[in-house]
Amino acid sequence: MSLIKQGKRDELLTYAIKCIDTLYRNMVHVDSELTTIALIQGDALGGGFEGALSSNVTIAERGVKLGLPEVVFNLFPGMGAYSLLSRKVGPVKAEEIILSGKLYLAEELYEMGVIDILAEKGKGEIAVYDYINSANRKANSYQAMRKVKDICNPIPYQELFDITEVWVDAALRLTDKDLRIMEKLVVRQTAKQV
C-alpha cells in the first residue's frame, strides 16, 4: 500500500515480479520432475489462493474459504489468478470468479474443477499421502499426464509478466477510498489470523 500511495512504479513492479517468480517456479515443477502439491487447511485469499493454484495438484479441506477479494478495493489479482483459473475452468468462469470478489467454499471450487482433491476436515495431510501413494503406484502414467498438461496448457513467464504490468498500472490508479477499503480488509484478515 505504501508503494501505491507513493506512486513508486518500479518498486511495485519489483514486488510483483518476486511474486510471479515464486508462482512460476512452482508451476514448472521447481525445474525438475517433481509434482508440486498445495494443501489448503485454512482460508486462502488473494495471493494465498493464487499460490495454491500454482501447484500441480491442489488439495483443500472441506469448509475452507477461498477467493480473490481484490475487486472489492477496485483492483484485480495480478499474479497469475486469471492465467491459472482460465486453464482450469475456462476464461468466462475465471473472469466470473475474479470479478465476483466472492469467497467460495472448497466444495464449490471442487465442483467447478478448481480444486483437484477435496479432503474431509482435518484429513488434508492424509489426502496428500493418499495422492502420493496413488501417483507412486502409477508413476509413469502420472508423470506423463503432468507433461501432457504442461504441453496443452502452458503458462509462459512472459504472460505472467505482462499481466503483472497491467496490475501495477491498475494499482497506481487506486483512489484513497480504494486504499482505505484495502486497509480494512487487511486489518480484518490479520485479526482473523491472530
Q: Where are the domains of the chain?
A: 2-121+140-193
Q: How far is residue 123 from each of residues 39, 59, 66, 109, measured CA to CA in Å?
A: 10, 10, 18, 18
Tens-place pLDDT, residues 134-171: 999 999 999 999 999 999 999 999 999 999 999 999 99
Architecture in CATH for domain 2-121+140-193? Alpha-Beta Complex (3.90)
pLDDT at 149: 93
The backbone torsions φ and ψ at residue 65, rounded to the nearest 5 degrees and listed phi first, read -105, 140
pLDDT at 186: 79
Q: Please determine, for residue 185, whether its predicted confidence score (pLDDT) is greater than 90.
A: no
pLDDT at 123: 98
pLDDT at 127: 98
E-state strands within the chain:
37-40, 44-45, 57-61, 65-67, 103-105, 117-119
Around Cβ 70, how many Cβ atoms within 10 Å? 23
Mean pLDDT of the chain: 95
Tens-place pLDDT, residues 30-79: 999 899 999 999 999 999 999 999 999 999 999 999 999 999 999 999 99
Q: Please determine, for residue 124, whether its predicted confidence score (pLDDT) is greater than 90.
A: yes
